[in-house]
Structure 1
């Protein structure tokens, strides 16, 4: 087996391949150009989207040539794969704004620099809007659509699931468009391999068959396991919703804590998938007598460093250390916390405790804050708050002129008072 392909298998990425032996032989002979697509349906990817791009990183390190395809065109349609309902339609302006945001996020995992390091394949980013938005529909149907069997398309799981709820005609076209993407990339960039999640199998196979029919080239598909947590929940979901890469949607501190609090059974699997640590180093955490919390802290730090940078990772780790290991909550620990700035005048007048907690992400509403207080889980500094009618004023400020709010044992929030 080709070394790079074996690395993906060993790290737990691979679900299926259209032809392991032929793809392995090709990768042994020459650098292979390959691609993975991401539709910009939102301003940020979440961590569940990133599995194929972490795989892309390993293939790039082995000298193969990545293409990250942003679906500025296909996002105007919406992929029915893995969806129970039709996606919300976006305006062209929304799609373009999302494309710009996502490009910078992918750059944390894949090297798009002009001069990649020795041994690495040069990565490029393309947008399928460049060839999809000006397609002539009649010509497309005659030249591309005639190669697709509706009967066969309906056998793919992504369509079968949607037929029960209703599959729109616009979504039915999605597989043709994604297949056409592969054809264009094969013709213009000699792209021979498409990678993606297991729910993309039907789309990938259709693209391979279209290329074979149109120009006789042999191409390949490699799909990855759809990652779920050991508790059965979808990867990348938290109590606050999706674990976005955009720090404005999901703070670096919360991001760190998401990884720090994963289930014990998931830690080694996630170290292999979501970090760049060597497998032999990860294996050290599997040995008997190793504290699982050490592995969790390493996972949280490495993943936060990749996505948000070393400085944010250090700040988040410092905040976590001071809060969960009984250290003094100094300035370094505070800097990594989620926070808001409160006007000094408002604090001096007194602010109802329920209103204060509901201004943070510790409680979504006053009702949530009331339940927190009545249930004994609300703290300000070292003071337990048990009266839902109490007014919070400047007397609650600590030695830093701030307030540290806490919900339960693990959730903290920093109130910075504007001077």
Structure 2
């Protein structure tokens, strides 16, 4: 047995190590979508997304891997014929513990899939069951064909009974999800508004989207530079390239790439959020803003200067493939853990906004917890009725509406202004 497993050691080790890290990377798009849909991310949602990706990759990896390292040796000594006898697993289960465990594992392997399709995806039973069967057919066919010709022979046995037991497992998982949902109903998680106090994960996801967009801009342009350079310039034989009277070295392409990346970074991470109330494109998708305070012009310039300097250092070091960009990110994470904010958030504001996570108000109406409230946003408000206006020619019975006036001393000027307007006679309406 150990000798047989030794044929798979290298590929199995690689798959096992890469499994959780690849799952984390593939979870980021799901988390970004959750932020876009729900305007927030709970620990349960993040954990659920990661577990779902972890399971999906594990299902593929552990049914396709490990692959024998020496393909020629394995294919010469092993010839796996497909098992096409339906219900053969009944006889296998009667042979002993190994057959029972194999049957049980084939059922258990697909139970999480049925649970997720019901509880998280919300699919109907008549949709989830054929989907689970299709997944099992895909896996078994991949094993039969050596992952569709990638491997020169079948290194896993095709078993028609596996498709039946896998589908049965998914159906059982779906039934468990139905019972669980009755005991623990799903809660509505969709909120409204823009997050003005985003956490580290929210910021990281938005920044990842921004950096991906920056890459989608500068990488094609860099490839265009390289293509045009080698089409237009001719090699001289000494490592230089010449066009007309202009002689250049290939390293000029590196400079052009860095400059293009820097310009793209400034556009996406400084100009766009500065012109759109602290929202980058990634922030707009995940419904957050990087500006947590109301600042004047000079304070905003200082805010964006510090932010651009720190994040720009990370980006430039990463693009140039040199410098401690990883250490800078680690330092920012430690700073967040200690201060619960980023260094650029320490730039003071003229009117600190009342911390709020989301707006539940009607669209178009101001939120009492927003930055627009200023220093008096939390001041108590009292209801006061303004005296009715004197009788006029057209609206003798008209009176001033009931308005809400702050009870602070600063509201006296507003009250006097309303009283003066109320004491003036109304002008008759010429149309009546």
- Regarding TM over 0.5, the answer is no
Name whichever structure is richer in strand by fraction: 1
The one of the two structures with greater contact order (alpha-carbon pairs below 8 A, sep at least 6) is: 1
Greater C-alpha radius of gyration: 2
TM-score, scaled to structure 1:
0.24
In the superposition, the TM-score normalised over structure 2's length comes to 0.23
